[in-house]
Amino acid sequence: MKLTRREFTALTSGGLAGLALPRFGFAAATDGTAGADLTTLTLAEASAKIRSGAVTSLQLTEACLARLAIYDPKLDAFITVLKEQALAQARSLDAELKAGKWRGRLHGIPIALKDNIDTAGTRTTAGSAVFEDRVPAEDAPVVARLKAAGAVIVGKTNLQEFAMGAGETSYFGPARNPWSLAHNTGGSSSGSGAAIAAELCYGALGTDTAGSVRIPASFCGIVGLKPTYGLVPIRGIVPLTLSLDHCGPMTRTVADTAIMLNVMTGYDKLDITSVEHPKEDYSATLDQLVAGFRLGVPAYFYDHLDAEVGRSVQEALSVLFKLTKSTKDVVLPAFTNVGNVGGAGETFAYHEEYFKRAAQRYMLPERRRLEAASKSTITAAEYVRAKWGLELLRRTVDDAFTDVDVVVVPTERILPPLLSDMIKAAREGTGEVTTDIIANTQPFNVYGIPAVTVPCGFSKSGLPMGLTFAGPHFSEGKILALARAFEQTTEWHKRRPALSPTMPVPSVLGPA
């Protein structure tokens, strides 16, 4: 059952005012005291314990690798595990700390990278046989920044082939959702979402062209941020559609996301998408008061909601009404006329030579897509006009925030689909499910404005749901502050999937 916007509005106006803040009977995550599993710590908690000497980076890394060895065969979250390299990094960083050198809050923290992000000397496959043996010569700038900040890279995570979908198609097999192994993780940053939810690492990087950070974050019950376009450099990342591509952090809490974002931002003159912006301390901005925030509710994003999603969003709004100053309906600009810049031209521009040489090495859905792109009839003039339209939209979208500070929307209109259904749709070339999945995420890629998703509920069957906060360009501090206030008022982020070493792995359809 899906709710129309009118039905949702009626439900909201009739029932929100008297709702008490929701309380949930979930067991709290442990605080990492003696005997507790170190992998249950948040990134911030793990960092504090390293800084105090209560634990070492080596202990955290060994704990993550041990858990990964047990659960990754069931989840397929990783394509490459960097065991020896990670242990060596951890030992080196422990020695540095012992000598009095502390690099910051990522010092010694095990982190994973989506496998379309270049790593020097380590293969970067983009989930494809085309790049099965590709080994970059240097790190992507965002990886170099994480390493310089002391992050320990434990591995490269699974993804939809070349990030071209919602996580159902990978040369290495699709990642599984830790909350239900039969369900889709969302994508294309599927492995990063699964790895964080399953506590295989403390943070991960994803990329986002139509929602590929926020979709798996929502489906896996974690936090995912798509920053302002150009704020985080994407040079050294295999592109999907350069005009819409972003790179963002995925973690278990908003505070953890802020810690990662602090070291990821910064201008890169060799990246044609990069923009200059004064450095900010996003961890510090979390403490700003949100009681004066004006909240916007854009109607478009509330139509055709799954009934369970609608109820969870209703409860979330009741919480936010109490936290903020005011709420009003707003209208964000139309985006569909520029939402697919240049058709598939930008995607094919990167793949043209690979496709000419090795078309049969692509998985069937991506092969079909690139074959169609190779025959695109879009003219150069049409492409240029689309680019002009995108630029104008991005220059004017902030006008929609004149009377509000932040907008709030359901991250997903639907619950995580069955993985077999997604594979079947990909095999048959139908895109209805994917269209539903990106309906509420893609607009923010077009606008180029920041958006963060946080857990806001679970279905009766135990599947996660997410709530998105978005704001004008470079409002990361503001949206993260409100997301954290919501997170601290509720308890959804404390819930963890019930994994066990003996849990069966349901079969799904073979690869498309």
- Residue 465: DSSP 8-state: E
- Specify if 509 maps to a domain: no
Which candidate, 341, 451, 348, 339, places its Cα nearest to that of 401?
451
Q: Answer left, alpha or beta for residue 220, where phi above 0 means left and psi between -120 and 50 means alpha.
A: alpha
Which candidate, 292, 196, 290, places its Cα nearest to that of 489?
290
- Specify if 33 maps to a domain: no
8 A C-beta contact, residue 369 and residue 344: yes
Q: Say what the pLDDT of residue 383 is.
A: 87
428: CB partners within 8 A, 6+ apart = none
Q: Give the side-chain half-sphere CA count within 13 A for 410.
A: 33
- Specify if 130 maps to a domain: yes
Q: What is the pLDDT of residues 121-137, one digit of tens each?
A: 999 999 999 999 999 99
Q: Say what the pLDDT of residue 146 is.
A: 98
Q: Say what the pLDDT of residue 12 is.
A: 52
Q: Say what the pLDDT of residue 341 is.
A: 67
Domains held by the chain: number: 1
Please state, in angstroms and rounded to a whole number, the distance separating the CA atoms of residues 411 and 451: 10
Q: Say what the pLDDT of residue 22 is.
A: 31
- Specify if 138 maps to a domain: yes
- Specify if 239 maps to a domain: yes
How far CA 200 is from CA of 36, 67, 70, 217, 512, in Å, comes to 15, 6, 10, 15, 28
8 A C-beta contact, residue 199 and residue 175: no
Which residues in the chain come in under a pLDDT of 70?
1-36, 339-343, 510-512
- Specify if 198 maps to a domain: yes
Q: Say what the pLDDT of residue 7 is.
A: 60
Q: Say what the pLDDT of residue 17 is.
A: 34
DSSP, residue by residue, 107-157:
TT-EEEEETTB-BTTB---TTSGGGTT---SS--HHHHHHHHTT-EEEEEE
Question: At 180, which CATH number?
Answer: 3.90.1300.10
- Residue 160: DSSP 8-state: S
Q: Is 114 considered catalytic here? A: yes
Q: Say what the pLDDT of residue 483 is.
A: 98
Q: Say what the pLDDT of residue 334 is.
A: 92
Domain that holds residue 247: 2-26+38-494
- Specify if 44 maps to a domain: yes
Residue from 49, 114, 156, 478 carrying the catalytic annotation: 114
Look-up: residue for tokens 């509920």? Answer: 457
Q: What is the pLDDT of residues 367-426, one digit of tens each?
A: 999 999 998 888 888 888 889 999 999 999 999 999 999 999 999 999 999 999 999 999
- Specify if 98 maps to a domain: yes
Label the pairing between strands 326-330 and 464-470.
unpaired
Q: Residue 329 forms beta bridges with which residues?
A: 297
pTM of the model: 0.93
Q: Say what the pLDDT of residue 4 is.
A: 59
Q: Say what the pLDDT of residue 337 is.
A: 74
Residue from 47, 188, 283, 475 carrying the catalytic annotation: 188
Residue from 170, 212, 218, 318 carrying the catalytic annotation: 212
